[in-house]
């Protein structure tokens, strides 16, 4: 999470960068709690889909199902921690994708090594 907001690439975050991180965590928490209506500490696949949609992601039901299964293969319910982790990963991957989608078509062509580099860089 720190690397996401380390805009000056110093390896640490200053007060302004921390403020941005804090804002994002609060936004993610607020959205999560909005969909965890019964305060169970979990949201199901449909709630996850709606929450991600509210955050601006247009993901297929199949992808949301895949995402939920990655975090909770048995119960198919997502905790707040996993919701935040998934949003961090989605945000990082989306930013990396956008940097290569210069024509904003939603499609990029990259080599295998570029893909692996993109994935490792985005997830760290």
pLDDT digits (tens, 9 = 90+) for 64-101: 999 999 988 888 999 999 999 898 888 888 888 888 88
Domains delineated in the chain: 2-122 (1.10.238.10)
Rounded to whole angstroms, how far apart are CA atoms 29 and 17?
Answer: 18
Rounded to whole angstroms, how far apart are CA atoms 48 and 94?
Answer: 18
pLDDT per position as a tens digit, 8-37: 777 777 788 788 888 888 999 999 999 998
Rounded to whole angstroms, how far apart are CA atoms 116 and 118?
Answer: 5
pLDDT per position as a tens digit, 96-111: 888 888 888 888 898 9
């Amino acid at each position: 999470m720190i690397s996401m907001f380390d805009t000056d690439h110093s390896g640490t975050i200053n007060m302004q960068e921390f403020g941005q991180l804090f804002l994002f965590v609060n936004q993610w928490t607020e959205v999560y709690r909005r969909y965890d209506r019964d305060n169970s500490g979990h949201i199901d696949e449909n709630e996850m889909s709606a929450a991600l949609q509210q955050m601006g992601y247009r993901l297929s039901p199949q992808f949301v199902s895949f995402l939920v299964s990655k975090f909770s293969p048995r119960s198919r319910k997502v905790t707040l921690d996993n919701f935040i982790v998934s949003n961090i990963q989605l945000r990082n991957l989306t930013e990396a994708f956008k940097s290569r989608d210069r024509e904003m078509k939603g499609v990029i062509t990259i080599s295998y090594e570029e893909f692996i580099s993109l994935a490792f860089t985005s997830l760290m």
